[in-house]
Amino acid sequence: MKAEDFKSYLSEDIDRIKRVLESVGVHRIWEASHEELRGAPPDTNNHTAISVNVDTLYCCYYKSDETLRTDIIGLVQHMRDESFPNSFRFLTSLFGLSSSKFVKEDKIDPLARFKGIRKKNKPIASIEEIQVPKFGKEVLADFIMLPHMSLFHEGIMPQTSELFDICYDPQLDRIIFPHHSFDDKNAIVGMTGRTTHSKEEINQLLIPKYWNYVKGYKKMYNLYGFSYAIEFVKKHGILVIFEAEKSVLKNWTQTKNEGYSCAVGGHEISDVQLQIIMKYLPVDVEIVIAFDKDIMMMKDKKTQEHIGEEFLINTAKRFSKYRNASYIYDTDDLLEDFDSPIDKGYRVFHELLEGRKQVK
């Protein structure tokens, strides 16, 4: 049996996929949609950390320091920390299949040398080649166009919420954050819904903290708040890159709706997001990486060495060849463990901003 044959066997029955996940300690497994399973890794209760496409068996394991993208066999290999053949034997034996039939074929490919060169020099996807569906604001018609009170308590003024079309979904009890296109603030390309339920309810009822209302929307092809910020980024000569939408909204509230920030939707900046910034901003604009405190304090899981600052430096270096680049690092312990640099208010954010570290 070949690996592809085994994956075809798994995809025939969703219960087989669940059995594989359970065998490596994945728990709290639930069906996020008819085509996706979600679950929590053995060491946490985050039931959205692992996702599996039930048709393709493509998997994502979202961790604080990285995102693993692989197939289901690769996921098992990662979870068991072993070689591919050992993982394959484990999986086939799990279903009573013969592992002895698995033979890794060593085919001679006369074009292998040239394919290797092409792989090493794979061109970055161009923003001109990416087609993202755009919608008008009529897609928000079914929601209540009023900001949720919880945003006000977090330091986001109603005027800012209104500017960014923040609304509320009463059916799913979610605050809706529309994502406007990086090149058109009147066009909506995605909508993220954040639940208003408590952590206890999220864990007990298996409620996803975030929900994507636009199927197929990829945050890696856009920058939240970018089209709004361009004018003021040029004015201030600085672009602050946060992880999440709410950090951008807080920046806009603190600047009386003249914000100079955007959010990448995580702690990885994609090649497309890099291109957007390079194309639309002047060369004299400084790029500031302002990721959350848990990224600053990130440790290597094997050695337990602090690697957070190195990660921030390497992220900033992606821009430093073309722009002045820097990063925020909380050396004075002003933030809590999972805070964004702006979560503690205007004074703390500007203290961190003024103390940012330059990267050459």
CATH number, domain containing residue 115 = 3.90.580.10
47 domain-assigned: yes
pLDDT for 98 equals: 65
Domain for residue 35, yes or no? yes
Average pLDDT over residues 250-275: 95
d(C-alpha 327, C-alpha 103), whole Å: 49
- Whole-angstrom Cα distance, residue 318 to residue 267? 14
Q: Would residue 270 count as lying in a domain?
A: no
Q: Flag whether 168 is in a domain.
A: no
Number of domains in the chain: 1
CA–CA distance, 52 with 58 (Å, rounded to integer): 6
Question: What is the predicted pLDDT for the residue at 354?
Answer: 97
The predicted pLDDT at position 122 comes to: 44
More confident residue, 205 or 234: 234
112 pLDDT more than 70: no
Q: Residue 92 falls within a domain, yes or no?
A: yes
Mean pLDDT, rounded, of the chain: 88
Residue 72: inside a domain, yes or no? yes
Q: Of 194, 163, 189, 160, give the one whose Cα is nearest residue 177.
A: 194
Q: What is the pLDDT of residue 125?
A: 63
Amino acid at 259: G
Q: Tell me how far apart the alpha carbons of residues 192 and 283 are, in angstroms, rounded to a whole number.
A: 31
- Domain of residue 114 covers 3-120
Whether 59 is covered by a domain: the verdict is yes
Which tens digit of pLDDT belongs to each residue from 123-164? 456 777 788 899 999 999 989 998 889 999 999 999 999 999
**pLDDT tens, residue by residue, 325-351:** 999 999 999 999 999 999 999 999 999
Residue 155 lies in a domain: no
Long-range contacts of 279-284 (CB under 8 A, 24+ apart): 279/127, 280/182, 280/183, 280/226, 280/230, 281/230, 281/233, 281/234, 281/239, 281/323, 282/234, 283/322, 283/323, 284/237, 284/324
Confidence of residue 118 (pLDDT cuts 50, 70, 90): very low
pLDDT attached to residue 234? 96
Which of 40-54, 177-191, 290-304 has the highest average model confidence (pLDDT)?
Answer: 177-191
The span from the CA of 289 to the CA of 24, in Å, is 36
Question: What is the reported pTM?
Answer: 0.74
Cα Rg for the chain, rounded, in angstroms?
22
Calpha distance 311→117 (Å, rounded): 28
